[in-house]
Chains A and B, each alone.
Chain A
Amino acid sequence: MSQFLDFHFNGDNLVCVRSERTVFRGLTFTVPAGGALTLVGPNGSGKSSLLRMMAGLLQPASGSMTWDGEDALNDMDVHGARLHYVGHHDAVKPVLTAAENIGFWARLRGGGDDTIQGALDVFDIKHLYDVPGRFLSAGQKRRVNLARIIAAPAPLWLLDEPTTALDKATIKRLEAAIQRHRDGGGMVVLSTHADVDTPGSQTLNLANFACSAPLDEHVMV
């Protein structure tokens, strides 16, 4: 039983330029429905840049991305609706409770408040339901951020180092959530230095597309 339609997300011959330096070039990828793509590579090889590019936050210097054969970035509102992006920051407001934080993003995507409990349960943080963001630890904030993407379904997950600050048990929960998402026909692209077990995932090593010596991470941001 597929939750999402059978779509493909492709990138063709992508070039990324950051402050006049080419980070990667000639990068091509395909993510089928139910597929997963793991981005690996040394610091500064462009994993974050590629994920931001896939999200539409960063324009490719050349090359194209297609969603089901059509230009993916043609209509940013449509593209935004079909993806969830988890970046380096957790976007948890200190004065809003965990539930309010998640609820806001879910409603903005046309969801309701009924999915919040279930989403919190996926990452075992039901007890944080009405705890304000300022009392959450780094790991708990990350869990709230990950629960956000469960609360309002979208076919494409873009996860930039999702395991940062997570303990082992939660990484297992994340792996299970990714598996369920893929079983439902969802796609996942994630960058990681640690091991996240995604069976049958393709691996894309960005070092293979570099044009110069790797840049430091801070240049990338």
Chain B
Amino acid sequence: MGKFIELVKRDLALAFRQGMDSLMVVAFFIIAVVLFPFGVGPEPSTLAKIAGGTIWVAALLSSMLSLERLFQTDHDDGSLELLALAPVPLEITVLAKVVAHWLTTGLPLIVTAPLLAVLMQLPSEGFLVLIAALLLGTPTLSLIGAVGAALILGSRRGGVLLSLLVLPLYIPILIFGVSAVDAAIFDQSVRPHLVFLAALLVGALALTPWAAAAGLRQALE
């Protein structure tokens, strides 16, 4: 456990000192959402209808942005070999890197989301559920993304390949994330949608570290 925290602390230190990653993700998130009122017109009722979906799609795309670098820099400078040889299971190392990735990219998105919800005229009943759904959904995005990030190591044009690999797998999270917000607005039960998001998170937590670690071992051969 101490070593797990050590790994998370290192990745957080690296993220804060090279600085721009979190800011870029949040800036992209804001700009992507702000584009929609320009595209579909500023009519409040139209915006309210698409608010949940827009914020979720923008969140998916922005969390993709920094995924490519999740293992890439460690792979390029030889750190990944040493991490694989450290007396810590590689699955735990993957999990620690995902936790750090979520703290530096997922969490800032969730903090920004309420502001964008105001901008998009999201009815106030949807706010809390949007936050709850993002809290349950964005860690799953990072976890699934880690598998993709491990598989693209060593390939050229990895960023595009990563989107093709990972975005289809994000669809269930998008569906239940948006339907949770819609359920809250139309005064239906939000519980089944949130439970589904939680189930996806638990499933991803159990499976993806193994898949990503296998991908990393393959990349190191």
The docked-state distance in angstroms from the alpha carbon of A93 to that of B83 is 13
**What's the tally of chain B residues with a CB closer than 8 Å to chain A?**
22
Closest to A94 in B: B18
Interface of B is mostly: helix
Interface mask (A98-109 → B, CB under 8 Å = 1, otherwise 0):
001000110111
Please, which residues of chain A bring their CB within 8 A of the CB of B125? none
> Is B14 within 8 A of A85, CB to CB?
no
* A96–B87 touching, CB < 8 Å: no
Residue of A nearest to B16 (CB): A95
- Name the residue among A55, A58, A78 with the largest chain B CB count within 10 angstroms: A55
- B87, A81: Cβ atoms closer than 8 Å: yes
Alpha-carbon gap, A78 to B86, bound state (A): 9
Are B86 and A96 within 8 A (Cβ)? no
Expressed in whole angstroms, the Cα–Cα distance for A109 and B89 within the complex equals 12
Chain B, 6-24, CB within 8 A of any chain A CB:
6-7, 10, 13-14, 17-18
> How many A-B contacts at CB < 8 Å in the complex?
66
CA distance A80 to B88 in the complex (A): 9
The closest CB in chain B to the CB of A108 belongs to B86
A83 CB–B CB distance under 8 Å: yes
Task: Check B6–A91 contact: CB distance below 8 A.
Answer: no
Number of interface residues of A (CB under 8 A): 28
B168, CB-defined interface residue at 8 Å: no
A21 to chain B, nearest CB (A): 14
Name the distance in Å between A220's Cβ and chain B's nearest Cβ: 12
Chain B residues proximal to chain A, CB less than 8 Å: 3, 6-7, 10, 13-14, 17-18, 76-79, 81-82, 84-89, 220-221
